[in-house]
Amino acid sequence: MPKTTFFKITARLPRFRADLLTWYAAHRRPLPWRQSRDPYRIWVSEVMLQQTQVATVIPYFEKWLQVFPDIAALATAPIDQVLKSWEGLGYYSRARNFHRAAGEVVARHNGEIPRDYAAFRALSGVGDYTAAAVLSIAFGLPYAVVDGNVKRVLARLLVLEAAANDPGAKILFQEKADQILDRNHPGDFNQALMELGATVCKPRTPDCPGCPVRVYCAGLHGQMQTQLPNRLAAKKTPLKHQVAVVPLWENQVVIRRRPAQGLLGGLWEFPVVERAETEPAKRVVGDLLNSEFGPGFDRLTPLGTVKHAYTHFKIEVSVFLAEATDSAPRSTVSENGKWINISELETYPFSKYNLRIIELLRKHLDPS
């Protein structure tokens, strides 16, 4: 690509801001949360968009507002209903924290989402990014957002050598974002910068000819745009082997609720246990059934294998159906467990990999 005219942002900052905002006004995507400045709707979208693609979020966002149209509706909803509405989005701590924060808004702020940064930042699950995004977009307050898209744009515009995924570089990226923020239009400017990163200044294939601020890009000027941002080498993701079992007795199955705190907190699941890679899965299932239910589940059928990736590890789950031939297997289950009819499964919130187990179960019971 031939070199183009280049101006340092610091020398023409007002012009840079104007060019970016003009482009955003003409090219921004018509996303449903951009149709109003309602702080609750914006907050919903920002929570859902963390670690999740826009296309995935849109139907969840629209359904969420039908079920929980305002902060009061969310605050008074049962946690199972909240988790069920979140089912499939992943990172369920977001839903639990949002539900808790809604209760805090009702209890501490009379149901009004606070405009004060410290007060909003103090709510459960609200970090620097969420606070800056909601307060700038909904209330026009001058707080700069920094997410993955913004880091990439800044790294290329300013040739920042710090690794974008280095926690130690957070202050640097925030300082740069604060410096270029348009304080007269902070909400639109923040969204414009994120939109630029999402649609033009993309990770592997930046559309430099189509960039509205290319004349200010030091990375393009130095032909370094595809090399930036720098990133720390990713650590190898460990693989955990697990065995899950679906105990079946007279059209009923056992599910149990995970602890409220920790991974997938509050969701329901089928009995599951970790195993060593070399340990026979059937033997692990037998031990699990004997310890939790006693004898009676004599027919064991493999349903398949489910694989799933979390942020820091992967799981590979061998799934078995355990059918009771005894007329009365042990009716007591663990403290957090229960027997339910198969038809009731759809009313409980499950993690994504447990939803796949349900699919395997239904396919086995009704292969047609």
Indicate which CATH number applies to the domain containing 28: 1.10.340.30
- Asked whether residue 228 is domain-assigned, the answer is no
Please tell me whether residues 200 and 81 are part of one structural domain: yes
Please tell me whether residues 187 and 79 are part of one structural domain: yes
- Asked whether residue 63 is domain-assigned, the answer is yes
Contact present, 269 and 262 (Cβ < 8 Å): no
**Which of 221, 251, 283 is the endpoint of a domain?**
221
**Which of 188, 221, 254 is the endpoint of a domain?**
221
Please tell me whether residues 203 and 267 are part of one structural domain: no
- Quote the strand ranges of the chain, DSSP E: 239-249, 252-257, 268-269, 272-274, 299-309, 314-323, 337-341
Catalytic residues: 46
Please tell me whether residues 169 and 291 are part of one structural domain: no
Q: Is the pTM of this model over 0.85?
A: no
Please tell me whether residues 183 and 297 are part of one structural domain: no
Please give the average pLDDT of every successive group of 10 residues along the chain, which has 368 residues: 60 92 96 94 96 93 97 96 91 92 96 96 95 97 96 94 88 95 97 96 93 92 86 86 90 88 85 84 82 77 89 88 72 73 92 92 84
Please tell me whether residues 210 and 261 are part of one structural domain: no
- Asked whether residue 234 is domain-assigned, the answer is no
Per the structure, the count of domains in the chain is 2
Quick one: pLDDT at residue 134? 97
Please tell me whether residues 208 and 112 are part of one structural domain: yes
Quick one: pLDDT at residue 250? 85
The rounded distance, in Å, linking the Cα atoms of 157 and 234 is 24
- Asked whether residue 231 is domain-assigned, the answer is no
Cis status of the peptide bond prior to 229, with omega within 30 of 0: yes
- Asked whether residue 2 is domain-assigned, the answer is no
Please tell me whether residues 115 and 247 are part of one structural domain: no
Range of the domain at 147: 9-221
Quick one: pLDDT at residue 190? 98
Quick one: pLDDT at residue 2? 43
Q: Per residue in 40-70, is it b (16+ CB within 10 Å) or e — as a string?
A: bbbbbbbbbbeeeeeeebeebbeebbeebee
**Which of 162, 190, 221 is the endpoint of a domain?**
221
Please tell me whether residues 55 and 176 are part of one structural domain: yes
- Asked whether residue 197 is domain-assigned, the answer is yes
Quick one: pLDDT at residue 54? 94
